[in-house]
Structure 1
Amino acid sequence: MVDSPIVHWFPGHMAKATRMITEYIKKVDVVIELLDARIPRSSANPVILELVGQKPHIVLLNKVDLADSSATKEWVEFFTKQGITVLTMDSKSGKGNKKLISTVEKLSKPTIDKWIAKGIRSRSVRTIILGIPNVGKSTLINSLAGSAATRTANKAGHTRGQQWVKIGKNLELLDTPGVLWPKLEDQRAAARLAMTGAISDDVYDLEHVIKQLLEFLLTHTPHILVERYKLKPDEMENADIILESIGRRRGCLVSGGIVDLDKARRILLQDYRNSKLGSITFDTVDEEPYYIDGEIPVLEGE
């Protein structure tokens, strides 16, 4: 944990999006919460959890191809023990699509049965996919939709660009903006969100983020650093020495042979995001939740 904040970021449009989701969620039958399998706790928005209420709820762990498989298994067990329906997904490849659709249909069956009892047979099952930015919502929707889907025109009261996507005959998905929670109280979570691209690269302290990334790798998977950057034992003492060594090996030098540390940080970040450092899961099931005393932060902004 760092002493000074990595990021304080909650753009006004996200506060608006949260208010809109409050209204959207009243109109759907099943809620799909899309999480990043690398950071299931850090990418879980407590505001969304509060808004879900008693609606049928699916936790979908996306990007499992980028996460550690044993850690993903632990997270599946974690959610299952809480009585939460949980599925894994690689939205880019479409692996898991059929299972997701069948699960939505299963969870919506009580609602469908009520319609049938009332003589209502034409209404589609409606679902919403919620998640933070860059978690893969659009990719998932496009994957589910395929060439057979039709996107409706914007409906009155919807934010520009928000559309219902019809999947087959009986399912409609509502696309929504990615929403971060108002206050990132846990700077560990903030750093992990920054690493994975959920937070804009323009608004956080790159030095602190990369230091946390290096400290994590040094503690949990030091062999990855050694193999990727050909580091020697005396270059693996701490994050600062590792970063400078990486910079020298990658030619990040300025006049006088001094290492351009900022350039080295950006190389390391891109290597991580381009999967050059292997499959890594940062969040573990035994870590403390990122929000304080179970309280949902108050919305800020316009």
Structure 2
Amino acid sequence: MNINWYPGHMAKAKREMIEKVRLVDIVIKIMDARIPMSSNNPEFDKIFDGKANILIINKADLADKNANDTWIDFFKNTNTQATILDSTNNGQVNRVKNWIIDICKKRQQEIKKQKGINKPIRAMVVGIPNVGKSTFINSLSGSQKAKVGNKPGVTRGQQWIRINNFLEMLDTPGLLWPKLDNQTTALHLAFAGCIKKEIVDNEELAVKFIEELKHMYPQMLMKRYNLDKLEGHGYQILEQICLNKGLIKSRGISDINRGADMLIKDFQSGKMGKITLEFPYMIGENK
């Protein structure tokens, strides 16, 4: 399966990012805690070269806690300002909001020292599609100012949103890169719902996901779908999952399409459990 998705609005979004980057003082990059490597657009390093930036590892509530801790340790060791976030947890939202405000106050003081002006800090919030940028901004602002949706491509244009008297954030459309050469990365993006589902073969995607979980989280897969063992290839396991969950068409045939859809949705919603597909030790693999 060859996966690529780079619609016209993304090319436009990239051009607008490049135009607006000179107007911002800091860049806030949002990543998905389940797929930190795949959700890191390599083009951001080029676009925002030299800009102060911070990293939010979002959707931490859906990811493996041990993996979250491992990633935070990794970024600390690379001198990256990073934190994890569950945007549904008010306590965590307040903690991250205060953390960002402290960083922005320091940046404001630096600008005043360099240029002699006391100006509001402008932050650009960037990330791949469906990583939670708009939800993050709404959580910090305390209102539904940014358009949100549980699918990629909801945000199509840029929008300035005031967080407080000295901090404004620019919400931007989710941005992938023109060619997904690494198909492991492409699969992980599709698993997490970062790629428009209509361009992906749902059954083949579910089979690939099962084959990955067989190695990383076999017990979780077996428990969720009442499997006594994980024998055979992914398609055979998907057939058994359909039978166990009563997803059957006429004449007792497994409804593979419904089963595939259920499996991917269970992962994306966290019903399957807390799962992380990428760890720091994997950096450099599958190139």
- Check conservation: 2:127, 2:175, Cα contact below 8 A: yes
TM-align CA RMSD? 2.3
Please state if 1:225 is matched with 2:233: no
Please state if 1:26 is matched with 2:13: no
CA positional deviation for 1:109? 2.4
1:139/1:126 Cα in 2 relative to 1: closer, same or farther (>3 Å)? same
Identity, % of aligned positions = 38
Identify the residue that residue 134 of structure 2 maps to in structure 1: 138
- Check conservation: 2:13, 2:157, Cα contact below 8 A: no
Q: Which residue identity does 2:249 align to in structure 1?
A: V
CA positional deviation for 1:242? 1.1
**How many Å separate the matches in 1 of 2:243 and 2:80?**
48
Structure 2: which 5+ runs fail to align?
147-154
Q: Which residue identity does 1:106 align to in structure 2?
A: I
Q: Which residue identity does 2:191 align to in structure 1?
A: M
Please state if 1:164 is matched with 2:160: yes
| 1:3-18 pair list within 5 angstroms | 4-5=1-2, 7-18=3-14
* TM, length-normalised to structure 1: 0.84
Identify the residue that residue 43 of structure 1 maps to in structure 2: 39
CA positional deviation for 1:134? 0.7
User: Higher relative contact order by CA 8 Å / sep ≥ 6: 1 or 2?
Assistant: 1
1:271/1:98 Cα in 2 relative to 1: closer, same or farther (>3 Å)? closer
**How many Å separate the matches in 1 of 2:248 and 2:156?**
46
Please state if 1:284 is matched with 2:279: yes
Identify the residue that residue 124 of structure 2 maps to in structure 1: 128
**How many Å separate the matches in 2 of 1:26 and 1:10?**
25
CA positional deviation for 1:117? 6.2
* TM, length-normalised to structure 2: 0.88
- Check conservation: 2:9, 2:156, Cα contact below 8 A: no
Please state if 1:272 is matched with 2:273: no
CA positional deviation for 1:225? 2.0
CA positional deviation for 1:160? 7.6
Structure 1: which 5+ runs fail to align?
152-158, 293-302
- Check conservation: 2:5, 2:196, Cα contact below 8 A: no
**How many Å separate the matches in 2 of 1:191 and 1:53?**
28
Identify the residue that residue 102 of structure 1 maps to in structure 2: 99
**Structure with bigger gyration radius:** 1
CA positional deviation for 1:114? 3.6
1:101/1:290 Cα in 2 relative to 1: closer, same or farther (>3 Å)? farther
Identify the residue that residue 236 of structure 2 maps to in structure 1: 241
**How many Å separate the matches in 2 of 1:93 and 1:269?**
24
- Check conservation: 1:92, 1:139, Cα contact below 8 A: no
**How many Å separate the matches in 2 of 1:116 and 1:150?**
33
Q: Which residue identity does 1:269 align to in structure 2?
A: I
Tell me the alpha carbon deviations over residues 256-279 of structure 1, each in whole angstroms, 9 at most, x when there is no partner: 322221221112112222222100
CA positional deviation for 1:102? 3.2
1:291/1:142 Cα in 2 relative to 1: closer, same or farther (>3 Å)? farther
- Check conservation: 1:186, 1:290, Cα contact below 8 A: no
**How many Å separate the matches in 1 of 2:141 and 2:231?**
47
Q: Which residue identity does 1:99 align to in structure 2?
A: V
